[in-house]
């Protein structure tokens, strides 16, 4: 059985077309399937549209109590899947559902545990692509796994990888990267990328930065190391400055040193800046530790809607 998991946040304009295309694709595969829509606290009536789909084959709806963000919404969907192969995709039709059979085929034929996809000819604005570039570069550094495109959510997973992801209890998460921890064999295939069908992207710059930060702090201690390097360089610079000032004082006399007051100010500001920088990063980690130790649930499911099973021949 194949389970599709689709996070939905204010996507009312896209849902009917999405549903139509999904049904067409899934029926052509001639395999049992379920389509799990996770309503991530939409406020535009998406949930009502989704409820209208109940009764159509395989449709299940997970209603979250509030907006938790794309990755936690997917996680909520993961927690209720029944299939042995799980495919995630976006609700905005940027990932064409027609690629699902190819993903599943690659997963099964190649005996892979995760099959990703990269967006050939990506249809996003230049400004939206830059953060993704940075993100891909950093992710490569952290995971040492070469994938062309980490941001593309059209991905297929084997059930055990999904189960392991669900059982990892961290609060902040980035699903494609988390999966690399558990998957033995991974690959990726090219997919088309369309313009958003309707509505607008839910990722502003702020959300992108926060996602990037989640990724960085939940999968690496790199920022802490940077801190150490910056600190070391700053203190070496500070000591050398001190020695330099001392020598200049001997050669040019006390009068010269008085004019150095401003230099000292400059140095002071430099260090204060460094300290604030360091504290900021430490604060981020401590904040995250605080978040984790509270052990709040990552998502809270209000209700799962689905049609009771009816046997076809009755």
The 3-class SS string of 13-65 reads CCHHHHHHHHHHHHHHHCCCEEEEEEECCCCCCHHHHHHCCECECCEEEEEEC
**Buried residues in 148-174 as b, exposed as e (16+ CB within 10 A):** ebbbbbbbbbbbebbeebbeeeebbbb
What CA–CA distance (Å, rounded) separates 105 from 291? 39
Residue among 205 and 275 whose Cβ is closer to ligand UDP? 205
Q: Cβ of 233: how many Cβ atoms within 10 Å?
A: 11
The residue whose two tokens read 């249809």 is 123
Look at residue 192 and give its three-state secondary structure: coil
Least distance from ligand UDP to the Cβ atom of residue 276, Å: 31
Mask 32-51, x = binds ligand UDP (CB under 6 A)?
--------x-----------
- Using the contact rule CB under 6 A, the part of the chain among 99-107, 195-203, 258-266, 269-277 near ligand UDP is 195-203
Give the interface segment with ligand UDP, choosing from 114-122, 165-173, 199-207, 306-314 (CB under 6 A).
Answer: 199-207
Q: Give strand pairing partners of 5.
A: 36, 88
Query: Bridge partners of 6?
Result: 37
Pick 80 or 194: Cβ nearer Mg ion: 194
Asked if 210 touches ligand UDP (CB under 6 A), the answer is no
Using CA atoms, how far apart are residues 201 and 91, in angstroms rounded to an integer?
Answer: 11
Q: Is 94 in the site for Mg ion (CB under 5 A)?
A: yes
Q: How far is the CB of 298 from ligand UDP (least distance, A)?
A: 13
- Stretch touching Mg ion by CB under 5 A, among 43-51, 68-76, 83-91, 219-227: 83-91
Residue with Cβ nearer ligand UDP (127 or 312): 127
Beta carbons of 142 and 110 less than 8 angstroms apart? no
Q: Using CB under 6 A, which residues numbered 84 to 103 contact ligand UDP?
A: 90-92, 94
Q: According to the binding rule CB under 5 A, does residue 95 interact with Mg ion?
A: no
Asked whether position 217 contacts ligand UDP by CB under 6 A, the answer is: no
Q: Contact residues for ligand UDP (CB under 6 A)?
A: 7-9, 11, 40, 67, 69-70, 73, 90-92, 94, 201-203
């Amino acid at each position: 059985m194949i389970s599709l998991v689709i996070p939905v946040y204010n996507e009312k304009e896209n849902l009917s077309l999405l549903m139509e295309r999904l049904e067409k694709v899934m029926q052509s595969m001639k395999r049992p399937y379920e389509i799990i829509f996770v309503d991530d606290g939409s406020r535009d009536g998406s949930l009502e549209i989704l409820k209208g789909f109940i009764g159509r084959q395989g449709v299940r709806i997970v209603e979250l109590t509030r907006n938790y963000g794309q990755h936690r919404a997917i996680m909520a969907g993961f927690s209720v899947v029944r299939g042995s192969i799980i495919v995630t995709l976006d609700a905005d039709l940027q990932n064409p559902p027609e690629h699902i059979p190819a993903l599943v085929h690659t997963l099964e034929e190649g005996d892979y545990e995760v099959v990703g996809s990269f967006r050939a000819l990506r249809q996003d604005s230049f400004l939206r692509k830059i953060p993704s570039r940075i993100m891909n570069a950093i992710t490569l550094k952290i995971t040492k796994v070469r994938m062309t495109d980490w941001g593309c959510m059209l991905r297929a997973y084997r059930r055990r990888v999904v189960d392991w992801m669900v059982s990892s209890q961290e609060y902040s998460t980035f699903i494609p990267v988390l999966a690399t921890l558990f998957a033995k064999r991974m690959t990726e295939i090219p997919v088309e990328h369309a313009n958003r069908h309707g509505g607008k992207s839910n990722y502003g710059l702020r959300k992108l930065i926060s996602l990037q930060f989640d990724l960085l702090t939940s999968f690496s201690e790199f920022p802490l190391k940077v801190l150490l390097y910056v600190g070391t360089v700053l203190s070496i610079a500070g000591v050398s400055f001190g020695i330099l000032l001392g020598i200049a004082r001997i050669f040019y006399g006390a009068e010269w040193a008085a004019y150095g007051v401003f230099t000292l100010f400059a140095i002071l500001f430099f260090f204060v800046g460094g300290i604030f920088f360091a504290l900021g990063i430490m604060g981020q980690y401590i904040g995250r530790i605080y978040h984790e130790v509270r052990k709040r649930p990552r998502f809270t499911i209000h209700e799962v809607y689905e049609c009771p099973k009816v046997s076809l021949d009755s």
